Structure 1
C-alpha cells in the first residue's frame, strides 16, 4: 500500500484499542470486526477481535477469530492460547488441551498455560460441568444490530419491496411531523467529492471509537471486494454512499438517516438547523402505520434528480449508488402515465434553466414569474413536494422587487404555510413572517419597475 494512502482498517484497530482500554468491549469488537472486513489479510485484526470476544463471553466467535489468525499466522502463540480458552468454555476439552499444549511447546507462558490445563482436567472430571453460556448470538454487539433504528419511537427496520432493508413507520405521521432528529456523525465542506475525501479522513482521525464504529457499519455501495487496491478508498466510498446535503453546501453522514431508502417521489424530506447542528427528517404528507418512509438521494444542491426522466434518473442512481430504483414513479408501466411523468420533469428542467439564464443575465426578471408559477404547479402535480417552497420564496422576492405588495404578501403567506408544515411555528420562521407583514423589508424591494402580478396565483 502506498505510504500516502489512508489505512482506515488500521485506524479502526487503533480506535478499537482505545475502546478496549476503556472496557467498552462491544465497541472494540465492532471496530476490530470492521478492520477484518476491510483488510482480511492482516492477522492482528482477528487476533484483537478474539480477546474482545473472550471479554464478552462470545466463545464461538473468539474461537473463530483465533482460527482465522492461525490461518494467517500459523503457530501464533497468543492465538493458540486464546483459542484454547474459548474451546475450554465450549467444553471442547480435547481440542482445548491440544491448543494450550501447542502454545507451551512453542515457548508460551508456562504459568498461564499449565493453569488452564489444570482447569481443563478439573472440568473433565466434574460429574456435572457447568452449562455452556455462549453469547455469540447476542445482537448487542453484532455489526449493524448494535445500533438498532428500532430503538427510535415510531420507526422500525424491515424488509423493503424497493431494496433490501428499509425504514417503516410503526405509527401514523402527519404532514410536518418530525420523523427523526439527529446530529451527523461527520460534516465536511461542500466542495467536490474528491476534495471532501481529505476532510473525511481528518474527521475520522478525531472521531470517538463509538462514532467510528457507527460510520464503518454503514453501507458501502461501491464495495467490490476488499483487495489492497480498494483500501485507500474505503472511507470515501462509505461517505459517498451515505452523504446527505446539509445547509450552505455542506455534506454530512448520519447514522440513522442513512438507513432510509431513496424514492423519486419521497414521502419525507430533510432540513439541517445550523444553530443546533441537527438534521431533521419530516413527513411531507400523511404517512400511514406500516408504510415505508423514503427520502430523495442527492449529492449536490438543486433539483437535478427531480428534473430528469426515468431512464436518466435510474442511470444516475446506478452510477452513484449501484442500485436500480424501484419506487412508485420508476415502476410505472410504459404507458401514458409514465410518459406524462417524464414530460413534467423535463419541463421543470427547461423552466429552471430559463429562469437561471434570465436571473444570471440581470434581464427583465418580471418575465420569469410565470415560469416560477408553472414550475410550482408542475411540482405539485407530479407529487414532488421538496423544493416548492424555495421556488415560492424567490417568487415573493420578485413581486417585492417590482413593488407588487399584494402579490408579495400572497406568495409569502403560501410559502409560510408550507414552512410551518415543515418546521412548525418556531424561530426559523421569524424572519420570513416579516415578509407577510412588511414586504418592503425584503432586500431589493421596490428597486425594479412597478408591475402587477395579480393574475399569477398557484390555485
Structure 2
C-alpha cells in the first residue's frame, strides 16, 4: 500500500519481529503435524466456561486478543494474525452438499463437498480481528468452537448474532492462534444463518452459561405462527421505525416470497414490498438490489396516487444508480421522476447534480473551489465523477498491465481524476490497521484490514462491481473475476481480496479539513486507506511522469512533464532517496525490484558510495529540520552549501546526466529559500 503519512510507520525490533513470527508460525506448524487426524471431542462444560471467562474479560477490556504493542510505548496496539495459506470458498450449491456430523471432522482439513448444521448455544465473544461462540450438534449434543475471522460483521451486526442455527459449508476444522480446535470461517458465504428472525440475545442474561442444557434453550427460537404477506409488510415497517434494518429487510423479503407463491394476493402489495425494500437497500448501500427493487415496484398506473408511488420508485432507482456511478442511468430515472411529480425540488436538485457529474466525466473540468469548501465543512467523500478518458489500460512489457495516455498532455495537466471504489478514513470506526504474517513468503506486513473488510462487504452487497475489482492484480488468483452466485448470494474469496488490497491500496493520508494543519492526526491503529480501480493499474517508476494528490477521496493525477499519446503513465510508489531502503520496500510490499534508469545508476555506485551519500544526506536533512530557511544564519548557509557540494560529488556527471539526484532535493530546496531571503 502506498502511504502518504510517514507517522503511521510501524517499527519492529529484531526481537519483536522474531517473537511475532514465532508465535504466528507456530500455529501453522502444529496444523501440519495434526493434519488429517480425527477430531477429539472436548468437554462441553469446559467450552461453555471458556465463553463465560472470555465474555467477562471482554467486559473489562482485557480480552485475549493477539496484540502487538507499538515500539513507541503508546497505548495504541496493532492486531496481528496469519493470512496464509489461502484457500477458496465453497462454490457448490447447498442442495448438492452431503451432510456430515461433528464426529466426521478431521484436523486441519477442508471438508470439500460436505455441510454441517449446528446451533449456537452461547453468547458471542467479539474481539477486534474475530468473533467466536460455541455451537452444538442437535443429534449428538456434542459441542465445538466456531470462529469467524475478520469478516465477522454485516452492516454493524455480528454475523454470529444474526441467528442461532447455522449451516457451515465445506467446514474447515483447524487450530486457532491460541492452539485450540475450532471451526474456522474465512469466507462469509461459507456460513449461512437459517433463522428468519434473530434470537433475542437478551435471553442469555437469564441463563447459567455453565449449564449446557439451559444454554441450548436460550437460543431456541419461539415457534413462529404462519403469517400473511401483509403481516410481514407491517412487521417490516415496525422494524424500520426501530432502525432494525436487517430485520425489516428480512420481513419484506418473506412477504415477497409469499406474494409470488399466492396468486390471490394483490399485485399492489408486491409493489409496496419492493418499494419499501428498495428504501432499506439504499440505506444499507445494497445499490444493485435497491435499483432492481425500485424498478420492480413500478405500477404504471395513471391515477395520482400511483403516479406518486412510481415517482418515489424512480427517485430511489436514481439514487442507487447515482451512487453506483451510473450517472447516465441516474439522469434517466430522475427525469422520469420529474415527469410524474414536477414540483419535487429535491429531485430537481439531484438531477442537476447528476448532469454536473456527466460533464465532469466527459470533460475533466471540476469546480475545485467548491470541492474544497465541501472538505472544509467536514465532508471528505466528494460528490464528483471519475474522469478517465485520457487513459486506457494496456500491456506494459515486463510489468504486466499498465495505464497509457490516449493523447498528448502538457506539464501540470490533469491525467485523470478518480473516485475510489472504497475508502476508509482513520477517523471512522471501520478503520483498522493490522500486522499480518503471510505463510507463503514468511513476511510480516502492515495491512489495512478495515479497508479489506469494507471492500468484501461492498462486493457482497453489489455483485455488479465484482468483476472490475477482482480484475486487479493479486498474487493469489482465487476463484477468478467472474461473479459466482449461490443460494445465499454472491461468493467472495476473501483471500483474493486481501491480496488485491495489499498490492493496490493507497494511503491518502488524513482527512483534509480546510485548515493549514494538513489534516486530522491519525493513530497507528487507524490509518486512512482506499482502493482506486483505474489508478491501481499505474506502474511504478523512480523517475515518474505523474504525481497524485487528494481532495478528500477524489484522487487527482497530474503530469509532471509533457506526456505523449501512447506513453505509459507512471508514479512513484516509494519516494525514498535511499536506493537500498526503496527497493527493499518495493520488494516487500509490491513484490518487484525496480529497474528504471535511476535504480540502474544507483545500483552501479556500489554499497560503499551509497552509504557515504546516505550519511551526508542525513546530515543535510538534520540541518534542514533544525534551521528554518527563512531565518537561516550565514554560518548555516555556508554549511549547507558545503554539504550540497559533498553530496553532489558522489554523483558521476556522465552516469547521472538527465537523472534526478534524489539526495540533493531537500538541501537544495532549503538553500533556494534561504538565499532568496
TM-score bracket for this pair, using the shorter chain length: 0.3 to 0.5
Given the two structures, how large is their TM-score scaled by the length of structure 1? 0.43
The structure whose residues are more often helix, as a share, is 1
